[in-house]
Every structure is written in structure tokens, then in C-alpha cells.
Amino acid sequence: MSDTVNELYWDPFDVDIDAHPYGVWRQMRDAAPVYRNDRFDFYALSRFADVEAASKSPKVFSSSHGTVLEIMSERPLGGGQMIFLDPPDHTRLRNLVSRAFTPRRMSLLEDEIRTIAAGLLDAQAGQGSFDYVQDFAAILPSMVISSLLGVPSADQARVHELIDTLFHIEPGVGMINDISFTARIELYEYLHAELESRLAHPRDDMLTDLVSSEITDVDGSVRRLSAPESAEFAILLIGAGTETVARLLGFAAVVLDEHPDQRAELAADASLIPNAVEELLRYEAPSPVQGRWTTAPVELHGTTIPAESKVLLLTGSAGRDERKYPDGDRFDIHRAFDHHVSFGYGVHFCLGAALARMEGRIGLEETLTRYPSWRVDHAGARRLHTSTVRGWTNVPVTAMRH
């Protein structure tokens, strides 16, 4: 074995590795496609084909023990969040909540997202410089989600405050801390009360859809979501759909500034933006690590992963795998590819993908019409570190008009 292989080390907690993971991920793909970390007791799959295959095999690669390394343990998590369920429980719940994610509801949001994005960017007009993440990318998704759910305007400021606090991170313990937990309880109680009130007074919003959708199970029984189940689901949407979109747009600001020619092409031709959003997701995955628990031994590349093991699927590495994407470390808005795994794959494929794509596209359209170019102040830029979400928390920019 070469020295490089002996020294090969990766875990999702190391802040320095997380800042520049692509070198080590490449080494893992080449030399240790079934990587073993004894310190934190997990395996990791880094090649596109392996991540995709494992995502398609929920029977063997289960989500029921959690999907975030620090909360995974021998005991299944319990609770009703669909992201931590396997089929058939997952299938029933997903079919039910998918009823609320109708194409109609999504298309109604197009104008709303544009109005919110334009308002946030216009508020910065004349400032010269602003923080693209704090003043824009981090606010847009929480406003969009509360609008999607149907949070009344009088309550929106408080709800946004609670969503912010939900993502409070403390050194050493990360996202599992009292401040975040207290916000979660208040948000849950608020949503529960709103859902109860929608039962009596339906409106044209997702909260109403959630408590009123019915599905007929294979055994003929008709099922609805209870108010507590709906409240849990709404919190999952907020958790899954806020931080991730903020990271996508933050990456857009940084990566496009590193590729000014491609940015100029996008500013000149907005029809290129949807593919640029896909390329951004492939190139810098906002949610690069998905945990799974093996229910049976898995034989792969000459290694046996025992049953009852933690396995991390490195979607962020899969996006750079040259076995799938020629010259994968090159950012190219014209790249032609069939799909990526940055929204996951298989049964847990991101339920909010259409919404995330719309927010990415409209966010960029509104940015580029106002500011065809900008300069990132790298000295002031800060990364956010959690073991699941990766990206920038501060991206100061000096924006340039035509």
C-alpha cells in the first residue's frame, strides 16, 4: 500500500476536511471505495454507482436508525418522520404527503418566489455590497416555506425567527442543543394549533391539504394524517428545505464568481440557468452525506460490510466521480448529464426537489438581472459546518450593475 492510502482519513465532523473534501473523496473513490472509519465506527461509499445502488436498496440500506451519523444507534429512531422510515411505512406516508405537493401548488409559488426574491434584492439596491447569504439566500427559503404552508402574514416574522433558531448550532454539540430544541417545541405547538384550525376553517394552503388529504391503503382502509403527524411533517419540510436552499444559492454566488465567463453567459441568456442549477448541485452538493444502517451483510469491491453497520453515502463525492462525469472537477454550465444524486435517489428522493430547483432558478434569474457580475470578498466569507449540510453562511459581495 502507498503512503497516501495509509494516511487516507475522512469523517464528516472534521471542519478542515469539510472545507476541502474533494481530494480525499477522490482518493477514497480510487483506493478505498468501501472506506472504513474505526474512530467513529462507520463505512463510507464514495463512487456514484455505489451511492446510487445503495439508495435504491432500502431493504438492506435502511433509514430507520437515522440518516445523520451522530444520531445513529443500534435502536431504530421511532417517530413518524418519513425520512427515517423504510417501505412500506415510508411509502404510505410519502403517498399521502405527496398529495400536498401538487404541480398546481408548486406553480402557484412561482410568482410568490419571484416577488420575495425581488423584494430582498431590491432592499440591497444602493448598498454597493451586502451579504448574499445572510441578506438573501438564507431568508428566501424560510419565507417561501411559510408561504407554501400558509402561515398567516401576522405570524410570519415570529415563524421566521423560530426557523432561524431551529438551526442554532453550538460548538461541540452541533444542532442538538437546548436553544434549537425549545424553538422546535414552540414551532410544533404553533403548527399544531394552525392545523387544528384548518380542520374547522379550510383555506387554499398546504396546511389544509395536509390535514384533509385521504388515501386508500392496499387493505382498503382510508387514511388521513392526524394534526400531530402533519405538524411533524411541516417541521421536516422546514428542516429539509431551508438550510439546503440557502447553501445552494451561497455556492452559486461563490462558484459563479470563480467562473466569470460562465456567469456572463447566464446573465445574457436566462434559458441556461436551469442546467446551471443542476451543475451547481452536482459540483457542490449542499447535503453531501446520507447515513444508512445495513440490515444484512453487503459484499462490495472485495470487502464485506457486516449487518448492523453504519454506512455513509457520499452524494457529494458521487457528483465528482469521473467514472460517471468526465472531468468531474470542472464546473461547466453546459455539461450534459442525465442525473445526479445530490437530491438523493430512490424512495427518499427529495420531495422538495421541484421547489428547490424553482428557488435556485428564480433566485439566480433575479440576481443576474440586477447584478450581471459581483465580486466575493473572500476574507469575509465564512463556511457553515454541520455533519449533514455543507456550504457558506456568509458571502459578502460587491455587486456590479450593468
Residue 72 in contact with ligand HEM, rule: CB under 6 A: no
Looking only at residues 284 through 303 of this chain, which bind ligand HEM when binding is defined by CB under 6 A?
286-287, 290
Per-residue cell: 150:
400558509
CB closer to ligand HEM, 266 vs 350: 350
Q: Counting contacts by CB under 6 A, is residue 348 touching ligand HEM?
A: yes
Taking CB under 6 A as the criterion, which residues in 189-248 touch ligand HEM?
236-237, 240-241, 244-245, 248
Binding mask 156-195 for ligand HEM (x = CB under 6 A): ----------------------------------------
Q: How many residues does the chain have?
A: 402
- Is 140 a residue that touches ligand HEM (CB under 6 A)? no
With CB under 6 A as the contact rule, the residue among 69, 82, 137, 159 that binds ligand HEM is: 82
340 part of the interface to ligand HEM, by CB under 6 A:
no
What minimum distance in Å lies between the beta carbon of 241 and ligand HEM?
Answer: 3
CB of 186 to ligand HEM, least distance (A): 20
For residue 125, the minimal CB distance to ligand HEM (Å) is 26
Q: Which range touches ligand HEM (CB under 6 A), out of 157-165, 166-174, 207-215, 342-350?
A: 342-350
CB 300 within 8 A of CB 50: yes
344 near ligand HEM, rule: CB under 6 A: yes
Is 94 near ligand HEM (CB under 6 A)? yes
In whole angstroms, what is the distance from residue 402 CA to residue 387 CA? 39
Shortest Å distance, C-beta 93 to ligand HEM: 8
Which residues lie near ligand HEM (CB under 6 A)? 63, 67, 82-83, 94, 145, 236-237, 240-241, 244-245, 248, 286-287, 290, 315, 342-344, 348, 350-352, 355-356
